[in-house]
């Protein structure tokens, strides 16, 4: 008999690729990267799948056509498709597999909760499918945090590869974990980046080692409260087998480890950017060192790498990310030499404290990935005199802490974004003497200083490129030799750009044109 007599009864037995998935009635919410991957996988397993998404774009329609061809039961697009739980073969579904961006209070998911239909994320589904007869089962090292996830997962992957292991960075980093599971390559280990959204829908994951890098107020609009956000982040440590890695400079992460239900024998390992205590990794005289994974940890430490191995720009948070990655792979059994080689081989991703140019003594830095105040504060703290380009979608967070903590570094602030009221208010309160520039449309003059009201924000018709060109021109008017112009917006990008990458690319292009123009003027 296909289908489920008791949903939770059958779902409990679905613990491998070779389990009986045939005929399982599944609704997949979202036809983006993770949703498409989940639907495609479930179809391959023989489940009866309906995919729903509010999108009606050409891209969504093309993906829908592909899924229909490969055998999906149906694909429903448009606003009506996501308001209620669809039936499959005239019956309610046995399971919802949701894309991570969908909030728990979204109408369809709320209806599923009322109907007691289980909801999994794509990561939960991947964990249950990881074991497959005749194939190697990859181990998981899991990484979360408000900031630094993608850098740390990349560092972890690089260290694992330096040790000769078949490793891949998956999850929130871009490669869907289900796609990696179906890859013909039989991986030894996954470095898994997990967002708070993905963790919300996880229950069964049992990583070899796990880390929460840091926490700060973020995504409160999605989770409902900062407390709920922290609770979802803390799920990274549940069922960890060997080592829960925590930030020794942030008590919240240590408390998460203390409260976690872990496998017996699992160790708590801290990391710090200062001298480490026993069972920690840290920094001593410019060296990254390990006092956790050596027998003589009471009175000595193993050298892992030097600060120079981190590259030309190594702010404090980059050091912390490197130590967290080192702790993960040391827990997995890698040598100090593997850590060092992995650090040296790592190529930082774009838009993360990315040097763009240095002209007339002014350093231009692109950190478009700094989409919240905590990330932007980490960038600001790496430089002494900063012309800060900031603003965008604030996601309901406060800017008081970043402004009060970094005010002494600010030479000027150039605002982008359609609604910067919260940021401007914090600047008025905590940095009243710092000039605040909001370029008007078609004008790059310094039109504003803190505490004197608001100019109209750029109109929606303005392109992101035009917005950034104006911001860069305004920054160039006030920056002098020894200054850093730092584009670290402390906000999301979607009010004026399609993504943080689009925003970063626009900054790079605007700086390039400015530098070329200055060079040409100098020649003449």
pLDDT tens-digit map of 36-59: 999 999 999 999 999 999 999 999
Q: Output the pLDDT for position 440.
A: 61
Where b means 16+ CB within 10 Å and e means fewer, 159-168 reads: bbbbbebebb
In this structure, the answer to whether residues 334 and 186 fall within a common structural domain is yes
The enclosing domain of 43 has a CATH number of 3.50.50.60
In this structure, the answer to whether residues 398 and 315 fall within a common structural domain is no
In this structure, the answer to whether residues 363 and 472 fall within a common structural domain is yes
Domain that residue 451 falls in: 354-523
Provide the pLDDT confidence category of residue 186 given band limits of 50, 70 and 90: very high
Which domain-ending residue is among 321, 345, 369? 345
Whether the predicted pLDDT of 448 surpasses 50: no
Q: Output the pLDDT for position 313.
A: 67
Q: Output the pLDDT for position 520.
A: 65
In this structure, the answer to whether residues 368 and 298 fall within a common structural domain is no
The enclosing domain of 205 has a CATH number of 3.40.1190.10
Whether the predicted pLDDT of 431 surpasses 90: yes
Assigned domain for 4 exists = no
Assigned domain for 1 exists = no
In this structure, the answer to whether residues 373 and 338 fall within a common structural domain is no
pTM of the model: 0.75
Assigned domain for 2 exists = no
In this structure, the answer to whether residues 366 and 339 fall within a common structural domain is no
Assigned domain for 3 exists = no
Q: Output the pLDDT for position 459.
A: 39
In this structure, the answer to whether residues 250 and 280 fall within a common structural domain is yes
Provide the pLDDT confidence category of residue 461 given band limits of 50, 70 and 90: very low
Contact 458, 442 (CB under 8 A): no
Assigned domain for 437 exists = yes
Q: Output the pLDDT for position 458.
A: 38
Which domain-ending residue is among 61, 84, 117? 117
In this structure, the answer to whether residues 337 and 367 fall within a common structural domain is no
Q: Output the pLDDT for position 312.
A: 67
Please compute the mean of the pLDDT values over residues 415-425 and round it to a whole number: 91
Contact 141, 328 (CB under 8 A): yes
Assigned domain for 11 exists = no
Beta strands per DSSP E along 39-102:
48-53, 74-77, 95-98
Closest of 94, 85, 95 to residue 122, by C-alpha: 95
Q: Output the pLDDT for position 445.
A: 35
Closest of 310, 302, 251 to residue 276, by C-alpha: 302
In this structure, the answer to whether residues 231 and 204 fall within a common structural domain is yes
In this structure, the answer to whether residues 146 and 111 fall within a common structural domain is no
Give, for 8, the enclosing helix (H) or strand (E).
helix 7-12
In this structure, the answer to whether residues 401 and 371 fall within a common structural domain is yes
Please compute the mean of the pLDDT values over residues 3-21 and round it to a whole number: 76
In this structure, the answer to whether residues 30 and 139 fall within a common structural domain is no
Kindly report the average pLDDT of the chain as a whole number: 89
Q: How many domains does the chain have?
A: 3
Which domain-ending residue is among 345, 375, 391? 345
């Amino acid at each position: 008999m296909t289908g489920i007599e008791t949903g939770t009864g059958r779902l409990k037995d679905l613990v491998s690729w070779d389990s009986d998935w045939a005929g399982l009635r599944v609704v997949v919410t979202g036809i983006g990267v993770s949703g498409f991957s989940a639907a495609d996988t479930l179809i391959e397993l023989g489940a009866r799948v309906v995919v729903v998404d509010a999108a009606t774009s050409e891209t969504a329609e093309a993906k829908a056509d592909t899924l229909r061809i490969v055998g999906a039961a149906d694909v429903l697009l448009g606003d009506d498709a996501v308001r209620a739980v669809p039936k499959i073969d005239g019956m309610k579904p046995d399971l919802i597999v949701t894309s991570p961006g969908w909030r728990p209070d979204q109408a369809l998911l709320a209806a599923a909760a009322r109907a007691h239909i289980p909801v999994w994320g794509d990561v939960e589904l991947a964990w249950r499918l990881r074991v497959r007869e005749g194939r190697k089962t990859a181990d998981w090292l899991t990484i979360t945090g408000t900031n630094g996830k993608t850098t740390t997962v990349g560092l972890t992957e690089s260290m694992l590869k330096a040790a000769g292991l078949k490793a891949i960075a998956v999850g929130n980093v871009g490669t869907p974990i289900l796609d990696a599971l179906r890859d013909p390559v039989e991986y030894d280990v996954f470095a898994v980046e997990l967002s708070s959204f993905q963790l919300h829908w996880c229950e069964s994951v049992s990583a070899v080692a796990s880390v929460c890098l840091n926490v700060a107020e973020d995504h409160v609009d999605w989770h409902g409260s900062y407390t709920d956000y922290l609770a979802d982040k803390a799920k990274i440590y549940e069922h960890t087998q060997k080592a829960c890695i925590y930030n020794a400079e942030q008590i919240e992460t240590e408390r998460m480890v203390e409260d976690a239900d872990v496998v017996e024998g699992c160790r708590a390992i801290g990391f710090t950017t200062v001298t480490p205590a026993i069972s920690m990794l840290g920094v001593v005289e410019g060296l990254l060192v390990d006092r956790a994974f050596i027998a003589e940890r009471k009175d000595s430490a193993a050298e892992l790498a030097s600060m120079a191995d981190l590259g030309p720009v190594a702010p404090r948070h980059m050091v912390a990310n490197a130590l967290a990655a080192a702790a993960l792979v040391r827990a997995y059994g890698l040598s100090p030499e593997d850590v060092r080689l992995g650090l040296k081989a790592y190529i930082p991703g774009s838009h993360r404290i990315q040097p763009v140019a240095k002209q007339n003594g002014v350093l231009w830095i692109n950190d478009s990935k700094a989409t919240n105040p905590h990330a932007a504060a980490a960038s600001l703290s790496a430089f002494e005199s900063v012309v800060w380009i900031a603003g965008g979608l604030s996601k309901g967070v406060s800017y008081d802490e970043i402004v009060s903590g970094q005010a002494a570094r600010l030479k000027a602030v150039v605002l982008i974004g359609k609604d910067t009221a919260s940021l401007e208010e914090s600047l008025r309160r905590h940095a009243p003497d710092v000039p605040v520039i909001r370029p008007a449309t078609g004008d790059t003059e310094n039109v504003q200083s803190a505490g004197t009201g608001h100019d109209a924000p750029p109109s929606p018709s303005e392109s992101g490129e035009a917005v950034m060109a104006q911001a860069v021109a305004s920054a160039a008017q006030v920056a002098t030799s020894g200054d850093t112009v730092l584009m670290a917006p402390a906000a999301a990008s979607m009010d004026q750009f399609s993504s943080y990458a689009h925003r970063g690319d626009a900054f790079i292009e605007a700086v390039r044109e400015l530098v070329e123009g200055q060079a040409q003027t100098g020649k003449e």
